[in-house]
Amino acid sequence: MKFRLRIKKMSPGTVTACVMGVALCLTGCGSSSVPTNQSNSAKTSSSSSSTSGDGTVTYALAPQSNLNWFIPIANSAGSTAANFEMIYELYKPILWINPNYTINWHKSIASKITYNKKGTVYHLYLNPKWHWSNGQPVSSKDVLFTWNVIKAASAANAPSPWPYIGVGAGDIPNGVKSVVENSEHEVTFTLDKPANQHWFIYNGIIQLILMPSAWDIHKNIDNEIKYLGTEASNPSFVKIVDGPFRLVKAVPYQSWTLVPNKNYDGHKSTLKKIVFDYESSNASEFAGLKTGAINVGYLDLSQYTARSELTSMGDTITPEYAFGYSDTQLNMFPGAKTAKIFDHLYVRQAMQMGIDEDAINKDIYHGYAPPTYGPIPTVPATQFLDPELSKPIYPYNASKGLALMESHGWKMQNGILVKGSEKMKFVMLYVSGVQAGQDEAELMKQDWAAEGISVTLKPMPISTFITITSNPKQPNSWQMATGLGWDYNGPGYYPTGGELFGTGAPSGFGYSNSEEDKLIAATHQPYTSDTANLHAFWRYENFTAEHLPVLWNNNAATLIVNSANVHGVAKNYDGPDGNVDMQYWSLAK
């Protein structure tokens, strides 16, 4: 799973930030691909042609996305969609997931996984064709090294900048009894207790985006994770890769340059280089698309009416929907002053009733942000959505929300609900630089005011936003936050909510409920049929949707824009695994 900037851009989703808006985030948006407003007969702009004449494609990152983590095992601050857009080009995932949620073994480091009926023993086989860029084979030694780093970095006393973001997902690492190297290309995982096989493979094993064992220079795991934690933010450290590209230049808050890995064992890129370009705002990115300085980027929904300025040059616009959700986070961390208010379900219910998702979709996202009513989006369509959640549990109704609060003893004073010494008055953070995200935050603020809920908006750069909201050790540094989302990609393809909504969840915000914990645990058990398995999932999904560990927001599409001379962009947008096959991109001759 990766944070997705819900960038209200034209609504793409991006980090769990989906900052209310559009975020290209080619890394984890959805799997559908329908060209919009194309002009196939239009000529490519001369500036675009000159920009790419030397074999270079310039790719726009989501606004204010500074790449600052470069190894494939990350902490919470490093696990952003933008960082992993690059990391997935340098390091191949052990399992590549297709849009239909099957495993693409041809693109995976693994060649197969077998397991027993009890769900306690799993044999992982590596495809021997894969090699590191230094010529060494990708082997079981790399699996063991990566596993030992994950295990040590997940410990409660792990040194800064750890802990590891995926702790708890797929029962990693505490549910694993042993990991044993059987041969150069076979490893056996043995669990402490039976597990749902789909859950453990898709949420557990999938976390092992392998690191080269050549990095294991200390032969002491405590010293090693300190070393890796320091080097993770050093772009010159990642010289040994197994993916289609290498990172050769990095200028913080400016650009990051990739060149093809000549020793890559898969399809090799025909490009000279790909430049990941820092964007200060949606406006600057749009200007880059118009001049041709950017070949692949996005269209923020706030700029939707100006789309003809791009399509008239021959640019193609393609909506992509993430398999994930966007949310508004309520600080329920232990010790947070807001927790005693937000811990009440009726408060969260009233606040959800004050979010007009239909208006947000229509007025801000031009129909590209379908409402979401729980942890599984309504678009794209998947088997995980219970049909009962295709309609809202808490339809927008500010009057009903106000009445609910008043029925629990809250009284309106000077336009704000008050109960004893408590006031429904909060500061809500939102990600700066994305106009659609700001528009959404302002609309929520306006509608909540009708319920007696006063919200002061505070914009913040995404890196600061994530650092503040993901730190339970400083629970009173924020109250509410919006503009992010969560994509179900590694770990988290099997979309149960243990790492999000369970008590003490590493990617949660303090929500805790014993029934939630039981229902999550039930999705982790093996079942005798797919039907029984799905019904257990739906029970978890329905409770979570109703109980509101976060407030649900619209799942905005990313509007991908590519110039007419760049081919293969939408076609190789590979859905839920968060990977983009950039090595298949090409430039017109």
Q: Is 479:520 a contact under the CB 8 Å cutoff?
A: no
Of residues 355, 430, 385, the one with CA closest to residue 534: 385
Buried b (16+ CB within 10 A) or exposed e, 107-126: bbbbbebebeeebbebebbb
At residue 421, does pLDDT exceed 90?
yes
| Predicted local confidence at residue 29, as pLDDT | 28
Using pLDDT thresholds of 50, 70 and 90, give the confidence band for residue 528: confident
- The span from the CA of 468 to the CA of 462, in Å, is 10
Q: What percent of the chain has pLDDT over 90?
A: 72
Lowest mean pLDDT among 38-52, 109-123, 442-456: 38-52
| Predicted local confidence at residue 490, as pLDDT | 59
Using pLDDT thresholds of 50, 70 and 90, give the confidence band for residue 102: confident
What average pLDDT does range 235-246 have in this prediction? 98
What average pLDDT does range 98-103 have in this prediction? 78
What average pLDDT does range 447-456 have in this prediction? 98
Query: Which tokens go with 86?
Result: 């690059």
| Predicted local confidence at residue 14, as pLDDT | 31
| Predicted local confidence at residue 227, as pLDDT | 98
HSE-up of 406 (CA within 13 Å, CB side)?
12
| Predicted local confidence at residue 488, as pLDDT | 81
At residue 412, does pLDDT exceed 90?
yes
* Contact partners, residue 528, CB within 8 Å, separation at least 6: none
| Predicted local confidence at residue 572, as pLDDT | 82
Buried b (16+ CB within 10 A) or exposed e, 391-419: ebbbebbbeebbebbbeeebeeeeeebbe
Using DSSP, state whether 4 is helix, strand or coil: strand
Using DSSP, state whether 400 is helix, strand or coil: helix
Q: Is 484:157 a contact under the CB 8 Å cutoff?
A: no
The 3-state secondary structure of 49-108, one letter per residue: HHHCCCCEEEEECCCCCCCCCCCCCCECCCCEHHHHHHHHHHCCCCCCECCCCCECCCCC
What average pLDDT does range 471-494 have in this prediction? 86
DSSP state of 444: H
Strand-strand pairing, 416-419 and 422-423: antiparallel
| Dihedral pair phi/psi, residue 134, rounded to 5° | -90, 5
HSE-up of 390 (CA within 13 Å, CB side)?
10
Q: Is 9:317 a contact under the CB 8 Å cutoff?
A: no
- The span from the CA of 461 to the CA of 452, in Å, is 28
| Predicted local confidence at residue 494, as pLDDT | 82
Arithmetic mean of pLDDT over the chain:
88
What average pLDDT does range 411-422 have in this prediction? 97
* Contact partners, residue 276, CB within 8 Å, separation at least 6: 59, 61, 67, 85, 86, 255, 256, 257, 258
Q: What is the dihedral of CA 379, 383, 389, 391, to 10 degrees?
A: 40
114's enclosing H/E stretch is: strand 110-115
Q: Which residue has the tokens 């290309």?
A: 185
| Predicted local confidence at residue 174, as pLDDT | 93
At residue 80, does pLDDT exceed 90?
no
Lowest mean pLDDT among 15-29, 272-286, 338-352, 477-491: 15-29
Q: Which residue has the tokens 């996005």?
A: 298
| Predicted local confidence at residue 241, as pLDDT | 98
| Predicted local confidence at residue 121, as pLDDT | 97
- Which has more pLDDT, 557 or 482? 482
Tens of pLDDT, residues 270-317: 999 999 999 999 999 999 999 999 999 999 888 899 999 999 999 999
* Contact partners, residue 381, CB within 8 Å, separation at least 6: none
At residue 17, does pLDDT exceed 60?
no
Lowest mean pLDDT among 57-61, 253-257, 273-277, 317-321: 317-321
| Predicted local confidence at residue 287, as pLDDT | 96
- The span from the CA of 269 to the CA of 297, in Å, is 19
271-274 long-range contacts (CB < 8 A, ≥24 apart) are 271/55, 271/56, 271/57, 271/585, 271/586, 271/587, 272/54, 272/55, 272/56, 273/55, 273/56, 273/57, 273/248, 274/56, 274/57, 274/58, 274/59, 274/89, 274/245, 274/582, 274/585
What is the value of pTM for the model shown? 0.76
| Predicted local confidence at residue 53, as pLDDT | 67
- The span from the CA of 548 to the CA of 351, in Å, is 10
Using pLDDT thresholds of 50, 70 and 90, give the confidence band for residue 574: low
At residue 44, does pLDDT exceed 50?
no
What average pLDDT does range 88-95 have in this prediction? 94
Q: How far is CA 174 from CA 192, 315, 450, in A?
A: 9, 49, 47
Length, in residues, of the chain: 589
Q: How far is CA 436 from CA 54, 316, 440, in A?
A: 34, 21, 6
Q: What percent of the chain has pLDDT over 70?
A: 89
Of residues 545, 427, 556, 394, the one with CA closest to residue 485: 556
At residue 94, does pLDDT exceed 80?
yes
At residue 15, does pLDDT exceed 80?
no
Q: Is 19:434 a contact under the CB 8 Å cutoff?
A: yes
